[in-house]
Amino acid sequence: MDNIGPFRTLVRAEGARLYRDLPWRRTRDPYAIWLSEVMLQQTQVARVMTRWEEWLERFPTVEALACAPTSEVLAAWQGMGYNRRALALKAAAEVVTRDHDGLFPHDAAQLKALPGIGPATAQGIRAFAFDLPGVYLETNVRTVVLHHFFPDVPAVPDRELVPLVEATCPGAPDARPDEGSMSFAAPQDADDTPRSWYYALLDYGAYLKKTIPNPSRRSKAYSKQSRFEGSRRQKRAHIVRMLLDAHAAGEPGLALDDVVAGVNVFERAAGRDAVPEADVASILDDLVREGFARTVDDRWTIA
């Protein structure tokens, strides 16, 4: 790892040159930062900027989100894709409010124990809210590491990237004892912290993806998103919207025939075949089991 020093110098310089003044970078509120991390998963930055601010106006604190009805949370999430993330946000907010007195934990293991929070999101919260070191391995970070350390190498597994990400992350001045065994690079100055370092990696990685063939596709962890149009996932999303619309209109819920009819209007408008009733019923069963919907008197309503 003799080239770690020059690599860090280059990334810091490029990070300063390419810095993006994004709204969630103007706060250290772990709730707001957590929200941005979740929203930025497979969603363009420009869209997240608007939706992040709208969400915080509607649910300004983690306690407000925890107390909000599921229907309101799902309605606020519409258009962001992956409705499961909205349910996970609410579930995690409930745990933070109930078990942590409304305060996000600093510890990576405690963060990863929250619903919907994986290693990258946990470290994003630690780095950007608390300035604590760790391995923040997301697509833009992968892009930079692959570009500089693995040029033209296909299918690079994360286990080969992690030591490099770990070695280049500066140690935070207030690093916790539970992280003391990790060998992080010492900060060169007061501005060289995990927060500033990962911002630099993110901005440099975003720039690389726009100017060269995306290096992150050479990661073994890379997977192309499955087709959404006509998929079961799209039908699920449409059914959730139907249930939300019925709830907003004050209707007692939708019968199976209503849901089938609504789905098939949508499908035929897109030039696709009608969906069998059994497939619609299966999706509704999934939605109930996963906490999106419930049944009342043989009618389905949003949870």
* Cα–Cα dist 4/283, whole Å: 50
Contact of 104 with 89, CB cutoff 8 Å: no
Tokens 């363009």 — which residue? 44
293 forms bridges with which residues in the sheet?
A: 302
Sign of CA dihedral 214, 218, 222, 226: positive
Contact of 148 with 192, CB cutoff 8 Å: no
- Which is catalytic among the residues 37, 54, 138, 267? 37
Tokens of 70: 């599921």
Contact of 134 with 123, CB cutoff 8 Å: yes
Q: Give the N- to C-terminal CA distance of the chain in Å, as an integer.
A: 52
Sign of CA dihedral 196, 197, 202, 203: positive
Q: Is 37 a catalytic residue?
A: yes
* Cα–Cα dist 29/4, whole Å: 31
Sorted by sequence, the CB contacts under 8 Å of residue 44 that are 6+ apart come out as none
Coil, strand, or helix at residue 187? coil
- Which amino acids are annotated catalytic? 37
